[in-house]
Amino acid sequence: MGQTFVRIAGSLSLAAALAFPAVAATADWQIDPAHSAAQFAVKHLAISTVRGAFTKVQGTVQFDSQDITKSSVDVTIDAASVDTREPNRDKDLRSDHFFDVEKFPTITFKSRKVEQVSPGKLKITGDLTIHGTTKEVVLDVDGPSAPIKDPWGNQRMGVNASTKINRKDFGIGGNYPAAVIGEDIAITIDSEMIQKK
């Protein structure tokens, strides 16, 4: 009886030890707004490229290093934080000509599927909501980088994501023809994340 109990207890302990890494592999990360931004690029008059960024980005990432498909991303961008380094243009972008930030103050992305394409490459499919309109988009992601410990003892890692959308799909700048403002918008997101404690 005693030996049987020891064998059962030992088996349970081994099972628990084997199961623990799978649980520990999942971690919650917080996007660091001070070191993250969403950039965009659009053609102007079909001859030049205007670049800008949304400087206030926040959100959470649940990252499972053992089963990437169990990971998820939830990002919120302050639409009023648009910055193209030209105050008058930024004011126009915030107006109802474009983002209408008083009515639609945020831009959001919520993942529905995370896939590993190759080492260091992910594909994240999710719902992007801009100007009150939601469309499915696919982010091509480099990363995440290997976690490092910062000088304050926090674990950090980074990602770079890119996609392309058509502004008219989201009702943005509908009064402006493509000859004036390009319809295709290239989006790049650089994000640094801190592991939640």
The answer to the question of residue 11 being in a domain is no
E strand spans, the chain: 26-31, 37-44, 48-54, 57-64, 72-78, 82-83, 106-118, 121-130, 133-142, 148-149, 155-166, 184-195
The answer to the question of residue 155 being in a domain is yes
Rg (C-alpha) for the chain, rounded Å, is: 22
The answer to the question of residue 91 being in a domain is yes
32-65: per-residue pLDDT in tens?
A: 999 999 999 999 999 999 999 999 999 999 999 9
The answer to the question of residue 4 being in a domain is no
Looking at residue 71, its pLDDT comes to 97
Q: What's the predicted TM-score (pTM) here? A: 0.85
Query: How many domains does the chain contain in total?
Result: 1
CATH, residue 31: 2.40.128.110
The answer to the question of residue 12 being in a domain is no
Asked whether the beta carbons of 113 and 69 are under 8 A apart, the reply is yes
The answer to the question of residue 7 being in a domain is no
CA distances from 56 to 81, 100, 185 (A): 6, 17, 19
74-95: per-residue pLDDT in tens?
A: 999 999 999 999 999 999 999 9
Q: Which residue range forms the structural domain that includes residue 124? A: 26-195
